[in-house]
Amino acid sequence: MNPLSPLEISASGLEAQRIKMSVIASNLANIHSTRKADGSGPYRRRDVVLVAKPANNFQNILNENINSLVKVVEVEKIVEDQSPFEKVYNPSHPDADAEGYVSLPNVSVIEEMANLVLTVRSYQANLAAIKNYRSMVNSTISLLQE
C-alpha cells in the first residue's frame, strides 16, 4: 500500500467537507431570497452529492486488488432541492403573486444547522486522522533512528 494513501484519503475528505460547508453557507445566506438574480423565482436549496472513487496513484494502477480498497471521496455534483416552496400571504411584497402569496426559499435553518454540525464533525475527523497518521510516521522514524 502506498504510504501516502491515508493522507490522500483524508485530504479528499477535507476538500469534500469544505465544499459542503460552502454550499450550506450559501443556503443560509439566501434563506430570504425571494428572487434570483435572473428574476426566475425564489432561491432553491442546494445539496452536495459525494461519491467514493478509487484513488488514482501509480500503485493502484499496477495492483488492481489495492484499487478496490483505497477510495477517495469526491464531489460528484451539486444539485438543487426540488421540494416545494413555502408560500406566505404578504400582498404588499414586490414578489407576491396575483393572490398575494410570496414563495419563500425551501431552506430550513434547522436542517442546514444539523447538516453543518455533521459536516464540521466529518472535517474534524479527517483532520484527526491526518494528525494521527503523522504521529505514527514520526514514531516509526524515531524507532528506525535508534
Each of the 146 residues of the chain gets a pLDDT tens digit; together they read 566 678 888 999 999 999 999 999 999 999 999 998 888 889 999 999 999 887 665 555 555 555 456 688 899 999 999 999 999 999 999 999 999 999 999 999 999 999 999 999 999 999 999 999 999 989 989 888 87
67 closest CA partner among 78, 57, 77: 57
Domain of residue 140, residue span: 5-145
Number of compact structural domains in the chain: 1
Count of helix runs (H) and strand runs (E) in the chain: 4, 4
Alpha carbons 54 and 64: distance in angstroms, whole number: 10
Alpha carbons 106 and 83: distance in angstroms, whole number: 7
Report the predicted TM-score, pTM, of the whole model to 2 decimal places. Answer: 0.82
Note whether 73 and 14 are within 8 A (CB). no
